[in-house]
Amino acid sequence: MPNGNKEGGEKIEPSKIAGLWHLLYEKIGPISTPTLLGFLIILLALFFLSITKVASPQGFSGQPDLRGQLGEGGCYFPDSAFTTIKSESADEVLKKLAKYNNLQGKKSQVQLIIDRARAAGLNYYIFLDIWSGEQSFGNDDKAFGCGVYDGKNRAPGFENQLNCAIDVMQDAINNRGNYIQPVGANIFTRFFYNYVGGMQDNYRKYGYVAGPDNPRVVIHQILAPDEVICSIGNSGPGVELVGDKLYPPLGIKMVAGKTYADHSCWLEGEKTECAVDYYVPAGTPVYAVTDGWIEKLKLQGERKGYYFYFHSNDGQVFAVYAHITPAGRLSLADSGQRVNGITKGVQLGTVFDHYVGPHLHFQLKINGHIIGKVGEHNYQSDYFGKVQ
């Protein structure tokens, strides 16, 4: 919903300038001509700045600000994602989002989203994103927050809410109505800039409407990770990877965007560690990301599989692989034994049938910097090359 908030600076009226001049004359007496001219120039400059200090609808410079395309630490969906037609059933969608308890038991609502979005030529994932962001899959009466402002709900009821959200989404896609700002930005930025007041504030402050932990982005990461693009700008300096990109630890499955990923972070002493869990079938091959060596191979438990530490030969890359069944040379190694001479792309094992569901737990650091912080699990894929 458009919030209509525009920030602006207070203007200095001419009468105030005259009053200020009179006050100075009373306090300090006659002023020399050069001093007077200098003082007038300063006052005119201040006056000019005050009448031009109006917040740019682009957020920063008065010119079309394209930082909303990505931002420094932000995420977005490419324009094509908004009109990508999916072919799943409501049951398949609910299965992907099984950990969201509020959504379970709402098959009819999910089916309505699918049907209405398809009829409008839109990606129904987008509306699940909005519902999550607005009401955490609850409160059907104002599910999408459409027309809900100033204490009133102008489109009460789930179906009316959905129709309203589809209408304004069409405005953003067609760059019309209240959804033309920021000028030059993509659909994702223009839609949420005008739909959610807090996301407009984000854009004004940071140059993007949503970070990787935004619930709308998080849901889309689960549903279609290949449709989410995130900046790696806030991972800090020194994360550049010299030479070729890494081999994807799950090979072609990861590159093709067929993995469902989740993230977690925790404290080890005073340090934060983060990992990405890639959910794939048990038995999926796991590969070495580059040339290196392995240490601390150890069984976590009969229901969790093995883990080990991986180091690249050049010292740039450190990774932790967990919940795997060792294969090849690793299957012959003793617990804790160092294994040298690992080559890029060689199979290290397979994904173990973990008791909470088979997945590869993968921690990645490049030059000491965590890749894949909270909500940023798409960041790891920025460092993976293509697999033929």
Q: For residue range 258-291, what is the model confidence (pLDDT) as tens digits?
A: 566 777 777 777 777 888 888 888 998 899 999 9
Q: Which residues on neighbouring strands pair with residue 366, listed in sequence order? A: 317, 369
Q: Cα–Cα distance between 276 and 297 in angstroms, integer?
A: 19
User: Alpha-carbon torsion 185, 73, 242, 365, what sign?
Assistant: negative
- Whether pLDDT at 388 is above 60: no
**With bands split at pLDDT 50, 70 and 90, how would you rate the model's confidence at 33?**
low
Average pLDDT over residues 286-311: 92
pLDDT of residue 165: 97
Q: Which two tokens stand for residue 233?
A: 């700008």
Q: Cα–Cα distance between 107 and 361 in angstroms, integer?
A: 31
Amino acid at site 216 = R
Query: For the chain, what are the domain ranges?
Result: 14-52, 66-230, 236-383
Q: Which two tokens stand for residue 17?
A: 């300038």
Specify the CATH superfamily of domain 236-383.
Answer: Glucose Permease (Domain IIA) (2.70.70.10)
pLDDT of residue 21: 52
Q: Cα–Cα distance between 87 and 110 in angstroms, integer?
A: 13
pLDDT of residue 201: 85
Find out whether 265 and 377 touch, Cβ atoms under 8 Å. Answer: no
Angle, vertex CA 260, rays to CA 298 and CA 102, nearest 5 = 110
Q: Which residues on neighbouring strands pair with residue 276, listed in sequence order? A: 263, 362
**How confident is the model over 169-191, as pLDDT tens digits?**
999 999 999 999 988 888 999 99
Q: Tell which wins on pLDDT, 13 or 268.
A: 268
Indicate the SS3 state at residue 203. Answer: helix
pLDDT of residue 245: 81
Secondary structure tally for the chain: helices H, strands E: 11, 14
**With bands split at pLDDT 50, 70 and 90, how would you rate the model's confidence at 212?**
confident
Percent over 90 (pLDDT), the chain: 39
Q: Which helix (H) or strand (E) holds 263?
A: strand 260-268
User: What is the Cα gyration radius of the chain?
Assistant: 27
Q: Which residues on neighbouring strands pair with residue 265, listed in sequence order? A: 274
Candidates 295, 349, 341; CA nearest to 318 is: 295
Average pLDDT over residues 143-160: 94
Q: Tell which wins on pLDDT, 221 or 48.
A: 221
Q: Cα–Cα distance between 164 and 167 in angstroms, integer?
A: 5
Q: How far is CA 300 from CA 297, 324, 353, in A?
A: 10, 10, 13
pLDDT of residue 27: 53
**With bands split at pLDDT 50, 70 and 90, how would you rate the model's confidence at 24?**
low
